[in-house]
Chains A and B, each alone.
Chain A
Amino acid sequence: ILNVEQSPQSLHVQEGDSTNFTCSFPSSNFYALHWYRWETAKSPEALFVMTLNGDEKKKGRISATLNTKEGYSYLYIKGSQPEDSATYLCALKAAGNKLTFGGGTRVLVKP
């Protein structure tokens, strides 16, 4: 059983502030790391798929880094806005193709 951990479980951010949170995972048999954003009453939406150690991806004000050797990924939100409020999920794809999801980090941006 793969153990994908996300921390913190939740965080409150003031509008305009930047924030980041962590996904940690076992580094053996790594294939890819996915990040998803899940807004209330909507379906999870893919943000990034990362495969290479040292990878850094960016979409607007959101970016992510990947360290496969030590088994962690950071997701950053720059200049948080209320519409960034959501649960951010990371998921590990190891051998066998299925994704193992972390418990998510619930972000609430306060105006």
Chain B
Amino acid sequence: GAGVSQSPSNKVTEKGKDVELRCDPISGHTALYWYRQSLGQGLEFLIYFQGNSAPDKSGLPSDRFSAERTGGSVSTLTIQRTQQEDSAVYLCASSHRLYEQYFGPGTRLTVT
């Protein structure tokens, strides 16, 4: 079956611009996660959605970052007024409740 998909695969943007990253989880997965990996760093948790519960936003690094998940499926991560330190690979993952997570291919964001 179809896995987790993310778009775009690559995004180059100028400092100060807003960007939107999209994640399509596996159908039927109730949990959706956003992570990022900055150069030389490990996976950093950003935000977690579980069903209709309020999202866990504890990993968002600043108020320039926000995410929403519409209809319990597709999610969009928005970064406003991008900074160079936002450059990273942004990974989305979905899971069925508390089981293993399935990761998408990621979006490589470069802020120039």
A residues with a Cβ closer than 8 A to B are: 31-32, 34, 36, 42-46, 49, 89, 91, 93, 96-104
Contacts and interface: CB of A to CB of B under 8 A. Distances in A.
Interface of B: 4, 31, 33, 35, 42-43, 45, 48, 50, 56, 58-59, 91, 93, 98-106
Contacts of A91: 43
A46 B48 contact: no
Contacts of B99: 49
Contacts of B102: 46
B42 A43 contact: no
B108 to A, nearest CB: 10
Given A102-B42, A104-B42, A44 B91 contact: yes
Point out which of B50, B100, B101, B103 has the most chain A C-beta atoms below 10 A from its C-beta.
B100
A99 B98 contact: no
Given A97-B48, A99-B33, A43 B105 contact: yes
Contacts, number: 50
Contact of B45 (A32, A34, A46, A98): A98
Cβ-closest 7 pairs across A and B: A46-B100, A43-B103, A101-B43, A103-B42, A98-B48, A44-B103, A49-B100
B33 A98 contact: yes
Q: In terms of DSSP, what is the predominant structure of the interface of chain A? A: strand
A96 B101 contact: no
Contacts of A103: 42
Nearest to B99: A49
Contacts of A44: 43, 91, 93, 101, 103
A1 to B, nearest CB: 10
A89 B45 contact: no
Contact of B42 (A89, A96, A97): A89
Contact of A93 (B50, B58, B98): B98
5 contacts: A49-B99, A97-B56, A98-B59, A99-B101, A101-B35
